[in-house]
Amino acid sequence: MAERIFQGLPGQAAGWSFSVLKEAAWICWKLFRIMIPVMVLVKILVELGWVSYLALPLKPFMELVGLPAEMGLVWATAMLDSYYSGIVVLLSLLESHPLSVAQMTVLGSMILICHALPVEVKIAQASGNRFLFQLVLRVLGGFALGFLLHHVYAAGDWLQQENAVFWHKDSSIPGTLTGWALNQGRNLLAIFLIILTLVILMRILKRLGVIDQINRLLSPLLRILNIGREAGSLTIIGMTLGLSYGGGLIIHEARSGRIEQRDVFGAMTMMGLAHGLIEDTIVLAVLGAHLSGILFARILFALLAVALVMRIIPRLSTGKIHSFFYIRFAPRGADSKGQTG
C-alpha cells in the first residue's frame, strides 16, 4: 500500500511537500484573516461582559437543545461566517462554559448543518433554488437535529462525561492579555496543523480511490430520494468534499438544462443538510463531538428530510413549486450565447 501511495514521489517529494504546504497555507490565510478579528472581538466582548447579552435572543433555543445560552453566539457566528470562526468563538468560551461530549455533539451537529449561510445559500440560489426556503431549511434543520440529539442522549444518559478538546488551554500560561495572545496563537497553530493533515489525508484518499468507494456506497441512498443519476453523482461530490465543489458543478449543469430542475433542487437540498462529510466531520471530531451525531445522525436526518420534501413537492401546483422551492431555467443550447437563464 505504501508503494501505491508514494509511487512516483521519490523524485518529486520536495515539490509535493511544497504543494501541500502551499495549499494548507492558502486555506489558513483565507480563514485567519477572518478568524483573528473575530478572536479579538470575542475577547473584547468577554472582558466587557457583553457575551451573555448578545446571546440572549438565542437563549430559549439553546436551552431547548441543552446548551448554555452563551453557545448561541458560537452558532450565530458559524451561521454568518464559517464553522472555523464559530470554533474560534467556542474556544474562547470553553474555559468558563465547559461542555459534555453530548453537548459538544449537539452543538457540532447544529454547526455542520447550519454554517456559512450567506455563501452557501447563495450557491443554492444560483442553481435555481429559492433562497428563503434553503435558508429556513438549514436553520430549522440544524435546530431540529440538535433538539433530537439532546433528548436522545439525555434519555439514554449517553455521552454525559466531560468533553476533552484538542485545544485545551494550558494552565501554565498566565491569565493576562499576553497569556491570552499566546493561547490563541497556539490555537491557530493547531488549526493549521489540522488543516495540513486534512490536505495530506484528502490527497492520500484520492490516490487510494477511497473517495470513489465512498461515492459508490452512497449512491443507493440517493436513488431512494429519486434524485437522477446525473445529479446524484454531483450530489455525492458535494456531500463528501463540500458544497462548493458539488454546488459549482450543479449550477453549471442546471443552467445547461442537462439536469431536471427537480433533481437539482433535491441535490442542493441534500448537500445543504449534509456536505463535507469527510473534512467537516474530522474537524468537529477533533473538538470532541461524537460521530453518532456529527456523521451518522446528520446523514440520516438529511435523508429523511429530503425524502419528505421530495414527496410533498409533486402534490403542489407548478405555481407554488416555483414560488417557494425552485425556478425553472430555460435550457440553453450548446451554441447559445449570452443567455443567463
- pLDDT interval class at 174 (50, 70, 90): low
Any residues with CB less than 8 A from the CB of 276 and at least 6 apart, and which? 112, 239, 240, 241, 242, 243
Whether the pLDDT of residue 305 is over 80: the answer is yes
Q: Is residue 204 part of a domain?
A: yes
Tell me: the pLDDT tens digits for 44-77?
876 777 766 767 788 899 999 999 998 999 998 8
Query: Burial code of 78-107, b = ≥16 C-beta within 10 A, e = fewer?
Result: bbebbbbbbbbbbbbbbeebebbbbbbbbb
Q: CA nearest 43: which of 105, 93, 85?
A: 93
C-alpha distances in Å from residue 279, one per residue of 149, 164, 283, 292: 21, 20, 6, 16
What is the average pLDDT across 104-131?
92
Q: Is residue 7 part of a domain?
A: no
Q: CA nearest 247: which of 272, 226, 210?
A: 272
Contact indicator for 142, 83 with CB cutoff of 8 Å: no
Higher-scoring residue by pLDDT: 114, 12: 114
Q: What is the pLDDT of residue 339?
A: 35
Q: How many Cβ atoms sit within 10 Å of the Cβ of residue 142?
A: 26
Higher-scoring residue by pLDDT: 19, 4: 19
* Triad 73, 78, 79: Cα angle to 5°: 95
Q: What percent of the chain has pLDDT over 70?
A: 83
Q: Is residue 51 part of a domain?
A: yes
Mean pLDDT of the chain: 82
What is the amino acid identity at position 55? A
Question: Measured between alpha carbons, how far is 328 from 24 in angstroms, rounded to an integer?
Answer: 39
Q: Is residue 221 part of a domain?
A: yes
Tell me if the pTM is above 0.85. Answer: no
Q: Is residue 148 part of a domain?
A: yes
Q: Is residue 335 part of a domain?
A: no
Q: Is residue 329 part of a domain?
A: no
Q: What is the pLDDT of residue 24?
A: 82
Tell me: the pLDDT tens digits for 309-339?
998 998 999 999 999 999 876 555 443 333 3
Query: Burial code of 291-308, b = ≥16 C-beta within 10 A, e = fewer?
Result: ebbbbebbbebbbebbbe
Tell me: the pLDDT tens digits for 69-108?
989 999 988 888 788 888 988 988 888 899 999 999 999 9
* Triad 33, 279, 105: Cα angle to 5°: 95
Whether the pLDDT of residue 308 is over 60: the answer is yes
Any residues with CB less than 8 A from the CB of 286 and at least 6 apart, and which? 166, 194
Higher-scoring residue by pLDDT: 301, 225: 301
Question: Measured between alpha carbons, how far is 198 from 285 in angstroms, rounded to an integer?
Answer: 13
Question: Measured between alpha carbons, how far is 72 from 62 in angstroms, rounded to an integer?
Answer: 6
Question: Measured between alpha carbons, how far is 226 from 35 in angstroms, rounded to an integer?
Answer: 40
Q: What is the pLDDT of residue 130?
A: 95
Q: Is residue 8 part of a domain?
A: no
Tell me: the pLDDT tens digits for 260-275?
888 899 999 999 999 9
All three cell numbers of 192, joined, read: 493549521
Lowest mean pLDDT, pick from 130-144, 163-177, 219-233, 282-296: 163-177
Question: Domain containing 66: what range?
Answer: 17-324
Query: What are phi and psi for residue 326, nearest 5 degrees?
Result: -160, 155
Q: What is the pLDDT of residue 166?
A: 63
Classify residue 284 by its DSSP letter: H
Query: What are phi and psi for residue 286, nearest 5 degrees?
Result: -60, -30
Q: What is the pLDDT of residue 6?
A: 46
Contact indicator for 87, 40 with CB cutoff of 8 Å: no
Tell me: the pLDDT tens digits for 187-241?
788 778 877 887 788 788 778 887 677 667 767 776 778 777 667 777 877 888 7
The domain total for the chain is: 1
Q: What is the pLDDT of residue 19?
A: 86
Whether the pLDDT of residue 10 is over 60: the answer is no
| Helix (H), strand (E), coil (C) string for 300-338 | HHHHHHHHHHHHHHHHCCHHHHHHHCECCCCCCCCCCCC
